[in-house]
A = this chain, B = another copy of it.
């Protein structure tokens, strides 16, 4: 978090005509400012009659409390920030929904931002949130490098909770899906339906969740005395990477050297499926069974609905926000925690017809 952004150009916007302030309300209701403030924030301290009078004045003047003044005087906002790394991915939308629910329950509000996975945006929003004095920031992450860079700059003690990324509880709180178990479940499922020549189609090892899923894959194989039929590492985990990889695998599948694929993401799986469908030499699940990961829209929208590992996105968001709040309440006594959520296997037609 850089200490400041210098030289913000100041263009000239006409500011909003100031509406009624708390003092106007107080005058109209014939009470002091303090009383109006109490009606707003501690209604129980104010006698019913007074309260009603004040409320009437409030509506009459269409008074809207000034959040800035409130935060300043109260020494902090009542909101938490959430920086999402990919709004296209429905997992993150679920996370947002869960976090918002937790915030609403606690009477707080949630500020959203979309970093599109770009380090500089993550940075910018971290700054912005710091300036807004949000009580806490939730940050979704999937890249080890980003993690290192970011935490290097988070100098202040404001609380930070990482989502979709597990870190040493000595450093931060985090909420993550159990990626290793997910990889295991996917692989186990393929083995259970009789597949033996399995491949893990992953992505760069810098993507932490991917490498963890890979570990689960290997564990399941080892457990059954199998070894991987091949190892495939696309550049990234998007649909187009799946397409490329899929094209490259057709030969091996047609030749019977591969009969099951664990993909590190649904997009990857969907891309492969498209490649297979286009090239036409491989039928799913007959010739090869595929399991994806994340339970994205892409998974059930696919030509052949894709079996996948469901991540509890909403719960991830909810737990993350709760964790942030606990951290606030407990203060120095707080011990960071790494919450790990269980993934679930969702069987669709890409593995059993």
Q: Which A residues contact B (CB, under 8 angstroms)?
A: 1, 3-4, 6-19, 39-43, 55, 58-59, 61-72, 75-78, 87-88, 90, 93, 96-97, 100, 106-107, 109-114, 116, 127-128, 130-133, 135, 155-158, 270, 297-298, 301-304, 325, 328-329, 331
Contacts and interface: CB of A to CB of B under 8 A. Distances in A.
A15 to B, nearest CB: 4
A331 B158 contact: no
Contact of A128 (B18, B55, B109, B130): B109
A333 to B, nearest CB: 10
A96 B90 contact: no
A72 B65 CA distance: 12
A11 B131 contact: no
B76 A15 contact: yes
A270 B305 CA distance: 13
Nearest to A302: B301
Given A8-B40, A10-B107, 16 more contacts: A3-B62, A6-B40, A13-B135, A16-B76, A17-B157, A64-B127, A68-B68, A68-B69, A88-B90, A96-B114, A111-B112, A112-B112, A112-B113, A297-B297, A298-B301, A303-B304
A106 to B, nearest CB: 6
A303 to B, nearest CB: 4
A128 B75 CA distance: 18
A346 to B, nearest CB: 17
A183 B23 CA distance: 54
B156 A4 contact: no
4 closest A-B pairs by beta carbon, nearest first, are: A68-B71, A67-B131, A301-B301, A112-B112
A201 to B, nearest CB: 19
Contact of A87 (B55, B93, B106, B107): B93
Given A64-B4, A93-B88, A329-B13, A18 B114 contact: no
A131 B88 contact: no
A18 B72 CA distance: 11
B43 A6 contact: yes
